[in-house]
Amino acid sequence: MDDLDFECLPARLHNRPEQIPEAVRRRVRAARGTYDTILVGYMDCGTGGLLDRVCAEEGVARLPGDHCYELYAGSEVFAGLQEAEPGTFYLTDYLVRHFDRLILRGLGIAEHPELRDAYFANYTRVVHLAQQPDGRLEAAARRAAAALGLRYERIVTGYDGLAAPLRAERRIPVRAA
């Protein structure tokens, strides 16, 4: 992937999805003139279609999908997980590493534990979409599930979930890592 640069926006934006479209717009505008093609790797991520509107206004393509977790699990696997159990809270390796900051403190649960049940009342499980089989991350993910009062499952996804949509949408040659 020598001809491909990845840039990430702050993960905390997922706690405020209404801020995602304008953050993407600013980044796209800053990158104009530097790249021949700009491809937005955000899924809709709770923007209610506003991200698609920004992408259309800016003349850039967006990878297909509603949830960023599709990039990890792949669209078919993710659809199957959602169909089997809609009340699933997903963790990536990144979210596991930063669970306390992004979820417990970021959502105010650390200060107001009663919020846990308000936020997660309709959830039944945590699925850790593990990019790396790592015992320490798995243990941390299990602790995260316990902190939310949810059952734990793990699926090792690796990093290949991003390759398929890149190949399909942009015909970009991507080799598996």
Q: Would residue 176 count as lying in a domain?
A: no
20-24, 30-34, 72-76, 137-141: the lowest-pLDDT one: 72-76
| Pairwise CA distance, residues 40 & 57, whole Å | 13
pTM over 0.75: yes
Percent of the chain predicted with pLDDT > 70:
88
Residue range 118-163, pLDDT digits in tens: 999 999 999 999 998 899 999 999 999 999 999 999 999 987 767 6
- Predicted confidence at residue 173, as pLDDT, reads 44
pLDDT score for 41: 85
Q: Percent of the chain, pLDDT > 90?
A: 60
- Tell me, yes or no, whether 52 and 108 share the same domain: no
Does 88 share its domain with 51?
A: no
Is residue 175 included in any domain, yes or no? no
Tell me: the pLDDT tens digits for 155-174? 999 877 676 666 665 554 44
- For residue 143, give every residue at least 6 positions away whose Cβ sits within 8 Å of its Cβ, in sequence order, or none: none
| Domain housing 41 | 11-62
| 80 and 16 assigned to the same domain | no
What does the pLDDT read at residue 175?
Answer: 40
23 and 52 within one domain: yes
Residue 174 lies in a domain: no
**Stretch 97-106: mean pLDDT, rounded?**
94
Assigned token pair, 175: 């080799």
Tally of structural domains, the chain: 2
On the CB side of 75, how many CA atoms lie within 13 Å of its CA?
Answer: 10
Would you say 102 and 12 are in contact if contact means Cβ atoms under 8 Å apart?
Answer: yes
Q: What is the mean pLDDT of residues 48-73?
A: 90
Q: CA–CA separation, 94 vs 109, rounded Å?
A: 19
